[in-house]
């Protein structure tokens, strides 16, 4: 969810703006899991005051004006899942939850949502605020100058990439939350750099006036009245998806949090799930980032009561739209690979590119250099890592490459010759419980030099469990892997020249795979089996931190079956032309079979109108966001289909209509038609997309032409 830090010119613009004048169409899988024992009613529970009500504001941006590559559909999926989970509890009701997402998630609407929450709640109530979007450092500390690292953090709104001042920053959010009277307030922020929103709520913005941004509809008088109120907020719990200086990943935090609220965080079996319990459940499972907590609530802040008046969310888990394997690889990364000392080209160097496209789908491509050391490789619009390997050379790696649609990016690489391996690492590999030697255990070595060059080496243990591997002086990591055992490793070893180092390993056996997960995967429309679908499983023991992966695939009848250990299990399904998203926990029981029949809908064609958006346009230029679409002069109407973004659908044509009259048919990208008629008044713009199979999708908007 990260974005690039703004440059100085944008920062200056922010300063001037802030201080200048005084701010499912996809597959559904039904999954039945065993429910916990539920209490009959809330009377026996030592809950909050009898008159307490629960209020929530749930915000997921997920879509961004002018920059669809930044879109994160999982944000929209997860906020819907969180909404559904809350409604499983007796204490939550639909009229007490406001959801703002997608194009509606503007700064003004988010602030209006916080004002709604302030208006509805009182001192006997509990409030929940959930925010998920892109986040990044502002680049400087907006007064009251409270940031040790010299920068506030911000959350990007729907307009945030089109207008760099369209964001909510941490101090602003802190102040708005301080206006709440609730006896308990839980703030959850799922974004990059989210830890910056974990500030203790112990101050007021006495020297700041509201931003003059047109989106901020709070009057100066209202804000100044707020400044004079007593500081609240010491009853707040803040959960964040990542540290203040850390990236966060789609699907890497919220699913575990939602699992915890479903029932799994109730460790003390009191049928109450608190914010603290939800965090304690989520934190150890979120392994790609580091969630944080600020707990200013006396005791534990309750969020969910498990009762039998509403069914557990486990009874009906909706598997929503995520992604598929194909990508539109219409961008190119190319360059030359040469010897760092002689500058001679290196032939047959292996180029590997791995990454995630803008739908967070994994891809991997490879090629080799020619006799001139040149390589060229196609990739989708993505964030990726390029790795180079060559015989007798150290490898090199370039991370965090960001490439757009139809872009050509040049990357030249110089490799260091592989250093002499004049030291030795050796030892014995035994089973932890019996101390018996383990034969054919894999020993993988990763070496890194002072210029970040690296190489890898490997060997196997013998029948007596002994291994020996040569290595150059430098910093190394060792990883030990054997069939039927959990991995073990040693990191950051410093090796000197002409030395012998002994490292013995005791591997812990994996648990017996005495549970079974099986089922059928079929097409939702036809009922036909979907064969050769890959299903990935991950088993996790949170107490020890051990995890292992396994996979299987469906046969010609759509049936799959896999043996797995009893316990906590997660799964993922990858199938061409289908979406599937179910990141939530399964519980496999020893000696039992868990049936999981899943129907998938083939990915339909989708279309949207990228221009005009809700704004004022003059002669094809957007002037300012507006609550309606207003057009003066000519304008280019732009249609966007999912093929443009992610390469899912082969588009045959797109039709453009004004007031039901066909005006133009476009057969290739870009899908743009220039509307240059003078027609004052209200009009309906409609676009229809057709794929090569004859399926269609449409989108229409109402606009007013002023000239």
Query: In this structure, what token pair is assigned to residue 194?
Result: 């989210």
321 in any annotated domain: no
Q: What percent of the chain lies above the pLDDT cut of 70?
A: 82
Q: Which range has the worst mean pLDDT, 170-179, 428-437, 498-507, 538-547?
A: 170-179
Check residue 551 and give its pLDDT.
93
Average pLDDT over residues 521-546: 91
Check residue 523 and give its pLDDT.
92
> Are 213 and 264 part of one and the same domain?
yes
- Read off the pLDDT of residues 49-75 as tens digits, 9 standing for 90 and up: 557 999 999 999 999 998 887 888 899
Structural domain harbouring 591: 515-600
550 in any annotated domain: yes
Query: Of 489, 507, 525, which residue is a domain's last?
Result: 507
Chain-centroid distance of CA 683 in Å reads: 38
Query: In this structure, what token pair is assigned to residue 380?
Result: 């989708």
> What confidence category does residue 146 fall into, taking pLDDT thresholds of 50, 70 and 90?
low
- Cα separations in angstroms, 320 against 18, 27, 601, 689: 39, 6, 10, 23
Check residue 152 and give its pLDDT.
77
Rg (CA), the chain: 28
CATH number of the CATH domain containing 662: 2.60.40.10
Average pLDDT over residues 303-316: 57
d(CA 86, CA 101): 17
Average pLDDT over residues 137-155: 76
Inform me whether the pLDDT recorded for 145 exceeds 90. no
> Are 502 and 581 part of one and the same domain?
no
9 in any annotated domain: no
Looking at per-residue confidence, does 307 or 199 come out higher? 307
39 in any annotated domain: no
d(CA 556, CA 524): 16
CATH number of the CATH domain containing 280: 3.40.50.1460
Average pLDDT over residues 132-155: 80
> Are 503 and 519 part of one and the same domain?
no
Inform me whether the pLDDT recorded for 338 exceeds 70. yes
Check residue 101 and give its pLDDT.
95
> Are 578 and 689 part of one and the same domain?
no
Query: Of 479, 507, 535, which residue is a domain's last?
Result: 507
Compute the C-alpha angle 702/706/707, nearest 5°: 125
> What confidence category does residue 195 fall into, taking pLDDT thresholds of 50, 70 and 90?
confident
> Are 455 and 397 part of one and the same domain?
no
Q: Which range has the worst mean pLDDT, 42-51, 122-131, 150-159, 607-616?
A: 42-51
d(CA 535, CA 530): 12
Q: Which range has the worst mean pLDDT, 74-88, 331-345, 454-468, 576-590?
A: 576-590
Average pLDDT over residues 511-537: 93
> Are 429 and 370 part of one and the same domain?
no
> Are 62 and 134 part of one and the same domain?
yes
Average pLDDT over residues 635-649: 68
- Read off the pLDDT of residues 487-516 as tens digits, 9 standing for 90 and up: 999 988 999 999 999 999 999 999 999 999
Inform me whether the pLDDT recorded for 645 exceeds 50. no
Domains identified in the chain, total number: 5
Inform me whether the pLDDT recorded for 528 exceeds 70. yes
Q: Which range has the worst mean pLDDT, 107-121, 153-167, 301-315, 456-470?
A: 301-315
- Read off the pLDDT of residues 90-116 as tens digits, 9 standing for 90 and up: 999 999 999 999 999 999 999 999 999
41 in any annotated domain: no
Q: Which range has the worst mean pLDDT, 49-58, 376-385, 495-504, 574-583?
A: 574-583
Mean pLDDT: which of 130-134, 171-175, 694-698 is highest?
130-134
What number of H helices and E strands is found in the chain?
8, 46
Average pLDDT over residues 326-354: 90
Mean pLDDT: which of 1-5, 436-440, 642-646 is highest?
436-440
* 363 Cβ contact list (under 8 Å, min separation 6): 325, 327, 329, 354, 355, 356, 357, 379, 380, 382, 384
Burial of residue 437, with CB atoms counted within 10 A of its CB: 0-12 exposed, 13-18 middle, 19 or more buried: middle
Looking at per-residue confidence, does 612 or 36 come out higher? 612
> Are 227 and 355 part of one and the same domain?
no
> What confidence category does residue 36 fall into, taking pLDDT thresholds of 50, 70 and 90?
very low
CATH number of the CATH domain containing 578: 2.60.40.1120
Q: Which range has the worst mean pLDDT, 60-64, 661-665, 695-699?
A: 695-699
Inform me whether the pLDDT recorded for 327 exceeds 50. no
Inform me whether the pLDDT recorded for 181 exceeds 80. yes
Check residue 218 and give its pLDDT.
40
Looking at per-residue confidence, does 465 or 147 come out higher? 465
38 in any annotated domain: no
Check residue 67 and give its pLDDT.
85
**Which run of H or E residues covers position 334?**
strand 331-339
Check residue 147 and give its pLDDT.
66
Q: What percent of the chain lies above the pLDDT cut of 90?
A: 60
> Are 661 and 679 part of one and the same domain?
yes
58 in any annotated domain: yes
> Are 380 and 499 part of one and the same domain?
no
Q: What is the mean pLDDT of the chain?
A: 83
Query: In this structure, what token pair is assigned to residue 315?
Result: 């009874």
> Are 73 and 135 part of one and the same domain?
yes
Query: Of 371, 391, 415, which residue is a domain's last?
Result: 415
Inform me whether the pLDDT recorded for 27 exceeds 50. no
> Are 131 and 100 part of one and the same domain?
yes
d(CA 702, CA 145): 45
94 in any annotated domain: yes
Provide the strand spans (E) within 542-680.
546-553, 559-564, 567-574, 586-588, 593-595, 598-600, 607-611, 615-618, 621-625, 630-632, 635-641, 651-658, 661-666, 672-675
Helices 170-178/107-120 angle, 10° precision? 20
Check residue 199 and give its pLDDT.
57
Inform me whether the pLDDT recorded for 621 exceeds 90. yes
Check residue 241 and give its pLDDT.
94
């Amino acid at each position: 969810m990260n974005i690039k830090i703004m440059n100085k010119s944008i920062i200056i613009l922010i300063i001037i703006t802030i201080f200048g004048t005084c701010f499912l169409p996809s597959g559904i899988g039904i999954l039945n899991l065993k429910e916990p024992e539920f209490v009959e009613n809330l009377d026996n529970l030592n809950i909050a005051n009898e008159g307490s009500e629960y209020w929530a504001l749930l915000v997921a941006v997920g879509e961004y004006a002018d920059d669809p590559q930044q879109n994160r559909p999982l944000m929209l999926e997860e906020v819907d899942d969180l909404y559904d989970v809350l409604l499983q509890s007796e204490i939550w009701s639909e009229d007490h939850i406001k959801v703002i997402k997608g194009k509606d998630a503007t700064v003004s609407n988010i602030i209006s949502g916080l004002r709604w929450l302030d208006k509805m709640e009182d001192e006997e109530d509990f409030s929940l605020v959930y925010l998920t979007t892109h986040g990044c450092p502002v680049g400087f500390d907006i007064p009251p100058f409270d940031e040790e690292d010299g920068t506030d953090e911000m959350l990007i709104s729907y307009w945030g990439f089109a207008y760099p001042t369209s964001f909510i920053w941490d101090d602003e959010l802190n102040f708005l939350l301080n206006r709440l009277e609730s006896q308990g307030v839980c703030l959850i922020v799922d974004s990059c750099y989210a830890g910056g929103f974990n500030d203790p709520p112990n101050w007021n913005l006495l020297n700041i006036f509201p931003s003059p941004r047109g989106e901020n509809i709070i009057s100066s008088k209202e804000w100044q009245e707020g400044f004079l109120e007593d500081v609240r907020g010491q009853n707040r719990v803040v959960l964040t998806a990542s540290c203040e200086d850390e990236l966060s990943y789609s699907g890497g935090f919220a699913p575990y949090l939602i699992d915890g609220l479903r029932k799994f965080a109730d460790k003390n079996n009191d049928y109450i799930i608190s914010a603290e319990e939800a965090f304690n459940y989520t934190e150890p499972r979120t392994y790609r980032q580091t969630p944080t907590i600020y707990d200013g609530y006396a005791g534990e802040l309750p969020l969910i009561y498990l009762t039998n008046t509403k069914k557990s969310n486990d009874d009906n888990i909706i598997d929503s739209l995520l992604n598929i394997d194909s990508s539109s690889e219409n961008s190119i990364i190319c360059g030359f690979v040469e010897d760092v000392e002689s500058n001679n080209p290196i032939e047959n160097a292996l180029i590997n590119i791995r990454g995630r496209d803008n739908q967070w789908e994994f891809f991997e491509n490879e090629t080799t250099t020619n006799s001139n050391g040149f390589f060229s490789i196609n990739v989708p619009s993505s964030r990726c890592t390029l790795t180079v390997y060559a015989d007798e050379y150290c490898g090199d790696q370039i991370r965090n490459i960001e490439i757009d649609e139809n872009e050509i990016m040049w990357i030249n690489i110089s490799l260091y010759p592989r250093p002499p391996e004049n030291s030795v690492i050796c030892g014995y590999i035994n089973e932890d419980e019996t101390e018996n030697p383990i034969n054919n255990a894999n020993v993988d070595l990763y070496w890194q030099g002072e210029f970040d060059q690296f190489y890898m080496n490997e060997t196997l243990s013998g029948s007596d469990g002994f291994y020996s591997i040569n290595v150059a002086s430098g910093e190394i990591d060792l990883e030990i892997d054997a069939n039927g055992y959990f991995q073990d490793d040693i990191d950051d070893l410093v090796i000197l020249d002409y030395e012998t180092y002994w490292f013995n390993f005791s591997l812990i056996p994996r648990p017996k795979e005495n549970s079974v997960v099986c089922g059928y995967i079929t097409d939702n429309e036809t009922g036909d089996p979907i064969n050769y679908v890959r299903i990935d499983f991950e088993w996790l023991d949170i107490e020890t931190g051990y995890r292992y992966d396994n996979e299987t695939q469906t046969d010609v009848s759509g049936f799959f079956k896999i043996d797995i250990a009893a316990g906590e299990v997660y799964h993922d399904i990858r199938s061409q032309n289908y979406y599937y998203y179910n990141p939530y926990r399964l519980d496999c029981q020893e000696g039992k079979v868990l049936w999981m029949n899943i129907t998938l809908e083939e990915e339909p064609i989708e279309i949207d109108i990228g221009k005009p958006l809700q704004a004022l346009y003059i002669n094809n230029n957007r002037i300012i966001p507006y609550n309606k679409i207003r057009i003066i002069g000519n304008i280019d109407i732009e249609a966007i289909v999912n093929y443009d973004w992610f390469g899912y659908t082969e588009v045959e044509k797109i039709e453009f209509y004004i007031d039901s009259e066909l005006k133009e048919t476009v057969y290739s990208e870009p899908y743009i038609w220039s509307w240059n008629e003078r027609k004052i008044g209200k009009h309906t713009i409609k676009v229809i997309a057709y794929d090569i199979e004859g399926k269609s999708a449409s989108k229409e908007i109402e606009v007013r032409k002023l000239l």
